[in-house]
Amino acid sequence: MKAVILISGNGSNLQSIIDSADRIDLQISCVISNNRSAFGLKRAESAKLQTAIIDPELYNSKEAFDRELISIIHQHRVELIVLAGYMRVLTPLFVSHYFGKILNIHPSLLPKFSGLNTHQRAIDASEKVHGVSVHFVTKELDGGPLICQDSVIIENSDTEETLSMKVLKTEHVIYPKVIHWYTQRRLILIDDKTATLDGKII
């Protein structure tokens, strides 16, 4: 299945997807970034993948930016859009256009700690367990139907950095697995609150 991957930064999840692309029946048509200095672009180039950069400063609104993003994605005729550390909030225009075709990975056990700085927030809240969630993207930020979660234990000695590394290791396992479910057409988004896996509500 053809996909585009959207990134903003280091691209470690992108790398895990590149490394498992054949196994999960994924063809990465293009890696798109809103940040020209994103290290993930170098990862993509090393893998001989096509890349594109869209500079947000060239657009006078989020909708104008997302229209350009839609235009680039349209050229690749893909069936899946994978957010891998993409730090822009997608507009309703974009989400509606690709309803049911957008996956995101988030570094917390949603609905806890949506948004940014999830690891420090979990530590500050004296949580004992933290983790990662993969979900369909809907118009509500980090609020689409959950597909899969995995957890890690927060030790007393954990810092934001050490907890982040624990969660990243889990992300690199869980995301390719969920993408594979999608490429096998086992995952379907029914509406903003409901998704199915193998015909059963998740």
DSSP string, the chain: -EEEEEESS--HHHHHHHHHTTTTT-EEEEEEES-TT-HHHHHHHHTT--EEE--GGG-SSHHHHHHHHHHHHHHHT-SEEEESS--SPPPHHHHHHTTT-EEEEESS-TTTT-SS-HHHHHHHTT-SEEEEEEEE--SSTT-SPEEEEEEEE--TT--HHHHHHHHHHHHHHHHHHHHHHHHTT-EEEEETTEEEETTEE-
Which residues are marked as active site? 106
Q: What was the pLDDT predicted at 67?
A: 98
Q: What was the pLDDT predicted at 1?
A: 98
The pLDDT tens digits of the residues spanning 93-112 come to: 999 999 999 999 999 999 99
Average pLDDT, the chain: 97
Q: What was the pLDDT predicted at 83?
A: 98
The pLDDT tens digits of the residues spanning 124-137 come to: 999 999 999 999 99
Percent of the chain clearing pLDDT 90 (strictly above): 100
**Which residues in the chain come in under a pLDDT of 70?**
none
Please name each of the domains of the chain with its CATH number.
Answer: 2-105+134-146+171-194 (3.40.50.170)
Q: What was the pLDDT predicted at 180?
A: 98
Q: What was the pLDDT predicted at 88?
A: 96
Q: What was the pLDDT predicted at 38?
A: 98
Q: What was the pLDDT predicted at 44?
A: 98
The pLDDT tens digits of the residues spanning 112-123 come to: 999 999 999 999
Percent of the chain clearing pLDDT 70 (strictly above): 100
